[in-house]
Structure 1
Amino acid sequence: MAHEATMPPVAGGHDDHEHHESPVVFGFWVYLMTDCILFGTLFAAFATLRHQYAGGPSGKEIFELGGVALETAILLLSSITFGFGALAAHAQKKGAFLGWLGITFLLGLSFVGLELREFTHMIAEGNGPDRSAFLSAFFTLVATHGLHVSTGLIWILVVMVQSLGVQAWTPRFMSKLTCLSLFWHFLDIVWICVFTFVYLLSVI
C-alpha cells in the first residue's frame, strides 16, 4: 500500500500564526497598557497644575481652537486612511496599500508640523514651558503625544519599505501591521482626550 504524501506545513498557516505571531500582538497590547499609565500620569499632572499660572496666561488666553480642531480632523482622517491601507494589505493589493499608507504618512506629518508651529508660536510669545507650571504640564503632555506620532511615522515608512520585499503579506508582516494599527488608533484616542481635557476645558 503506497504511503500517502505528507504535505509540508504551510508557512503562515493558522497554527503557525496562532502560536508564533499572537504572542507578538499580545505583547504589544501589554506595551499599550504601559503607555496608558504614562499618559494617565501626564493627564493627572496636568489636572493638578492646570490653574497654576504663576501670573502667566491661561489656556483661554493662548489656545486657538481653530488650529487644534484642524489638527484633530487631520489625525482622525489619518486613522480612516490607515484602515483602508490595512484592508488593502489583507487583500494583498500592494499598490493600494502603499497609496493609503502614503496618505496616512502625509497626514501624520501635517499633524506634527502644525503642532510644532503651535509650540514655536507660543514660545515666541514668551509662553514656553518655563513660564508656569500650567505650561510645563501642557508642553510635556502634548509633546509626549507628538513624539509618539513621530515614532509612528517612522514605523509607517519601515512597513512600507518591507511591503516591497519578499516578506510582504506573510503572517509576520501582518502581525507587524496589526501592532502598528493598534498603535496609530491608540494615538487617536489619546489625542481626543487631549483635545477635550486640555484644550476645550481650558477655553470654556
Structure 2
Amino acid sequence: MDPISLLISQVLRASQPGTIAQINRIESPIVRIRPAQGGDSPAAVGVELGLGDTILTRDRGRTEVLFRNGVGVRLGGNAQLVLQPQNRLNLRAGEMITWVMPGKSLPLSITTPLATAAIRGTTVYVEYLPKGQIRFFAWEGRVSVIPTDGSPPLTLTTGEEVVLTPGQPTPPIRRMSVAEWQKHRQTARFLRSFPQPLPTQPLIDRLLPGEVP
C-alpha cells in the first residue's frame, strides 16, 4: 500500500464507530494490523482497533495497545493477538503483559490453546514457549488459569507461575522465593523492555510472592 493510501485508510479507520482500542506505542516498526475484513497494513501510533482485528509483530517488534475500558497490553516479538467480544483477548503466539488500570476491576480473559487466564484488576504475563508449552505468570493480584482439557482451575497470586505442556497433566503452581522475586522484578526482560513503566509497576514493586493488593 502506498503512503497516501495508507494514510487515508488509517484516517477512515480512526473515524469508524465501534472501535475499542488504540495503538499507543510502537518500539519497533515491525508491527502490522490485520482488520477483521482482511488485508494487512503497517501499524501506526493512534490507529484505532475494533473487534476481530489482529495485531501481528515480527522479530523484535513490540507494541503497546490501550483499550477504552482501562485494559492495557504490551506485545513482544513474533506475537499474534486477536481482539474478541466480551473482553476476550486471543493470544495465538508470542508473549504479552496485560493489566487493568489501578482503580478498575473489570473482568478480562486471555485465551490460548491450553488454557484461559481470567483476571480482574490484575497484571498477568502469558508466553508461548518451545514445544508448544505456555507459561502463565502473575505479576500482581490473582489470576485464574482454566485449562482447556477440563482439569480443575488454578489460582495464581503475585510471583506465582504455571507452565502447561500439551498432552501432559497440569503441574503444580510454582511460587518464587522472595530473593528470586526481588531479582526478577529488576531484571525481567519483557517487564523492562518499554521506556515507560507499567501503570501497575508501583503495586508490583510493593508486593511479595503470594500477596495480593
Q: Same fold (TM over 0.5)?
A: no
**What TM-score range do you get, normalising by the shorter chain?**
under 0.3
Identify the structure with the greater strand proportion: 2
Give the TM-score normalised by the residue count of structure 2: 0.20
Larger Cα-atom Rg: 1
Identify the structure with the greater helix proportion: 1
Larger relative contact order (CA 8 Å, sep ≥ 6): 1
